[in-house]
Protein backbone atom coordinates (compact mmCIF):
# COMPACT_ATOMS: atom_id res chain seq x y z
CA UNK A 1 0.00 0.00 0.00
CA UNK A 2 1.39 3.46 0.75
CA UNK A 3 5.14 3.63 0.56
CA UNK A 4 5.29 6.21 3.30
CA UNK A 5 6.23 4.53 6.53
CA UNK A 6 4.10 6.49 8.91
CA UNK A 7 0.51 7.51 8.52
CA UNK A 8 -0.36 10.65 10.31
CA UNK A 9 -4.08 10.33 10.54
CA UNK A 10 -4.48 13.63 12.24
CA UNK A 11 -7.99 14.33 11.23
CA UNK A 12 -9.48 10.91 10.90
CA UNK A 13 -11.61 11.51 13.87
CA UNK A 14 -14.23 9.75 15.82
CA UNK A 15 -16.85 12.37 15.28
CA UNK A 16 -19.50 10.05 13.93
CA UNK A 17 -21.32 10.27 17.19
CA UNK A 18 -21.36 14.05 17.36
CA UNK A 19 -21.35 15.23 13.79
CA UNK A 20 -25.01 16.06 13.67
CA UNK A 21 -24.71 19.61 14.97
CA UNK A 22 -21.82 21.18 13.18
CA UNK A 23 -21.62 24.88 13.93
CA UNK A 24 -20.73 27.50 11.37
CA UNK A 25 -17.67 28.67 13.21
CA UNK A 26 -14.35 27.01 12.78
CA UNK A 27 -13.42 27.77 16.40
CA UNK A 28 -16.38 25.82 17.61
CA UNK A 29 -15.47 22.89 15.44
CA UNK A 30 -12.15 22.26 17.06
CA UNK A 31 -13.56 19.24 18.83
CA UNK A 32 -13.18 17.45 15.57
CA UNK A 33 -9.44 17.97 15.50
CA UNK A 34 -8.53 15.10 17.78
CA UNK A 35 -4.88 14.48 18.41
CA UNK A 36 -3.11 12.71 15.62
CA UNK A 37 -2.59 9.01 15.95
CA UNK A 38 0.44 7.45 14.38
CA UNK A 39 1.10 3.86 13.64
CA UNK A 40 3.64 2.00 11.61
CA UNK A 41 2.93 0.21 8.37
CA UNK A 42 5.15 -2.59 9.70
CA UNK A 43 2.67 -3.30 12.49
CA UNK A 44 0.07 -4.58 10.07
CA UNK A 45 -1.43 -7.89 11.17
CA UNK A 46 -1.27 -10.87 8.83
CA UNK A 47 -4.57 -12.49 7.96
CA UNK A 48 -5.68 -15.28 5.69
CA UNK A 49 -9.06 -13.82 4.94
CA UNK A 50 -9.87 -11.74 1.91
CA UNK A 51 -9.35 -8.14 2.90
CA UNK A 52 -11.56 -6.45 0.32
CA UNK A 53 -15.25 -5.93 -0.31
CA UNK A 54 -16.54 -4.79 -3.67
CA UNK A 55 -19.30 -2.43 -4.82
CA UNK A 56 -21.49 -1.66 -7.82
CA UNK A 57 -20.91 1.48 -9.88
CA UNK A 58 -21.97 4.65 -8.03
CA UNK A 59 -23.20 2.51 -5.11
CA UNK A 60 -22.04 2.15 -1.54
CA UNK A 61 -24.39 -0.62 -0.39
CA UNK A 62 -23.05 -3.87 1.07
CA UNK A 63 -24.80 -6.92 -0.31
CA UNK A 64 -25.43 -10.19 1.57
CA UNK A 65 -22.22 -11.72 0.24
CA UNK A 66 -20.13 -8.77 1.48
CA UNK A 67 -21.79 -8.96 4.85
CA UNK A 68 -21.11 -12.66 5.30
CA UNK A 69 -17.50 -12.08 4.27
CA UNK A 70 -17.15 -9.36 6.89
CA UNK A 71 -18.76 -11.61 9.49
CA UNK A 72 -16.15 -14.29 8.87
CA UNK A 73 -13.56 -11.61 9.38
CA UNK A 74 -15.10 -10.34 12.63
CA UNK A 75 -13.10 -12.34 15.21
CA UNK A 76 -9.84 -11.03 13.78
CA UNK A 77 -11.19 -7.49 13.44
CA UNK A 78 -12.23 -7.56 17.07
CA UNK A 79 -8.72 -8.61 18.09
CA UNK A 80 -6.98 -5.81 16.16
CA UNK A 81 -5.96 -2.57 17.84
CA UNK A 82 -6.65 -0.47 14.73
CA UNK A 83 -8.94 -1.28 11.80
CA UNK A 84 -8.15 0.78 8.72
CA UNK A 85 -10.83 1.01 6.03
CA UNK A 86 -9.73 2.46 2.71
CA UNK A 87 -12.46 3.31 0.19
CA UNK A 88 -11.83 3.31 -3.57
CA UNK A 89 -13.74 3.85 -6.82
CA UNK A 90 -13.29 3.02 -10.46
CA UNK A 91 -12.12 5.72 -12.86
CA UNK A 92 -15.52 6.48 -14.32
CA UNK A 93 -17.18 9.74 -13.39
CA UNK A 94 -15.54 12.69 -11.71
CA UNK A 95 -12.63 12.66 -9.28
CA UNK A 96 -14.04 14.75 -6.47
CA UNK A 97 -17.37 12.94 -6.52
CA UNK A 98 -15.49 9.65 -6.41
CA UNK A 99 -13.50 10.86 -3.41
CA UNK A 100 -16.79 11.31 -1.58
CA UNK A 101 -18.14 8.01 -2.88
CA UNK A 102 -15.05 6.12 -1.66
CA UNK A 103 -15.61 7.62 1.77
CA UNK A 104 -19.25 6.49 1.66
CA UNK A 105 -18.14 2.94 0.89
CA UNK A 106 -15.63 2.84 3.74
CA UNK A 107 -18.25 4.24 6.14
CA UNK A 108 -20.76 1.63 5.04
CA UNK A 109 -18.26 -1.03 6.11
CA UNK A 110 -17.52 0.85 9.33
CA UNK A 111 -21.20 1.10 10.23
CA UNK A 112 -21.69 -2.61 9.61
CA UNK A 113 -18.72 -3.46 11.83
CA UNK A 114 -20.04 -1.21 14.61
CA UNK A 115 -23.43 -2.89 14.43
CA UNK A 116 -21.59 -6.21 14.79
CA UNK A 117 -19.91 -5.01 17.97
CA UNK A 118 -16.58 -3.61 16.79
CA UNK A 119 -15.61 -0.49 18.72
CA UNK A 120 -15.89 2.57 16.50
CA UNK A 121 -12.97 4.13 18.32
CA UNK A 122 -10.46 1.85 16.69
CA UNK A 123 -11.75 2.24 13.15
CA UNK A 124 -9.91 4.64 10.83
CA UNK A 125 -11.56 5.60 7.55
CA UNK A 126 -9.87 7.10 4.50
CA UNK A 127 -10.94 7.49 0.88
CA UNK A 128 -8.67 7.67 -2.12
CA UNK A 129 -11.53 8.03 -4.61
CA UNK A 130 -10.31 6.91 -8.03
CA UNK A 131 -6.70 7.95 -7.33
CA UNK A 132 -5.31 4.51 -6.44
CA UNK A 133 -6.77 1.88 -8.73
CA UNK A 134 -5.62 -1.74 -8.37
CA UNK A 135 -5.93 -2.23 -12.11
CA UNK A 136 -5.17 0.48 -14.62
CA UNK A 137 -7.08 -1.03 -17.55
CA UNK A 138 -10.36 0.52 -18.66
CA UNK A 139 -12.78 -2.41 -18.76
CA UNK A 140 -15.57 -3.90 -16.67
CA UNK A 141 -13.29 -6.41 -14.96
CA UNK A 142 -10.73 -3.80 -13.88
CA UNK A 143 -13.47 -1.39 -12.80
CA UNK A 144 -15.15 -4.10 -10.68
CA UNK A 145 -11.85 -4.81 -8.90
CA UNK A 146 -11.19 -1.12 -8.33
CA UNK A 147 -14.57 -0.40 -6.65
CA UNK A 148 -13.53 -1.64 -3.24
CA UNK A 149 -12.94 -1.09 0.43
CA UNK A 150 -9.63 -2.47 1.66
CA UNK A 151 -9.53 -3.58 5.25
CA UNK A 152 -6.23 -3.68 7.10
CA UNK A 153 -5.67 -4.58 10.70
CA UNK A 154 -2.97 -3.32 13.06
Using CB under 8 A, which of the segments 30-38, 42-50, 63-71, 73-81 binds other proteins? 30-38
In this structure, the number of other CB atoms found within 10 A of the CB of residue 103 comes to: 19
Smallest separation (angstroms) from other proteins to the CB of 75: 26
In this structure, the number of other CB atoms found within 10 A of the CB of residue 7 comes to: 20
Q: Does 10 bind other proteins (CB under 8 A)?
A: yes
Q: Which is nearer to other proteins, 2 or 68 (CB)?
A: 2
What are the backbone dihedrals phi and psi of residue 151, each rounded to the nearest 5 degrees, phi first?
-110, 125
Residues 88-147 binding other proteins (CB under 8 A) are 91-97, 99-101, 103-104, 106-107, 125-129, 131-132, 136-138
Smallest separation (angstroms) from other proteins to the CB of 11: 7
98 vs 9: CA distance, rounded Å:
20
What are the backbone dihedrals phi and psi of residue 61, each rounded to the nearest 5 degrees, phi first?
-90, 135
Q: Which is nearer to other proteins, 49 or 154 (CB)?
A: 154
Measure the CA dihedral 66/68/70/73, to 10°.
-140
In this structure, the number of other CB atoms found within 10 A of the CB of residue 115 comes to: 9
Binding residues (CB under 8 A) for other proteins: these are: 2-4, 7-13, 15-16, 19, 22, 24-26, 29-30, 32-33, 58, 91-97, 99-101, 103-104, 106-107, 125-129, 131-132, 136-138
Amino acid sequence: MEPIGIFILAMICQVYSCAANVSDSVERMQYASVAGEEYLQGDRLETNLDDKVYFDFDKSILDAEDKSLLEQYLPEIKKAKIVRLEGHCDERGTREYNLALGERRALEVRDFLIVKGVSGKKIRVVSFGEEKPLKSASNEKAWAENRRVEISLY
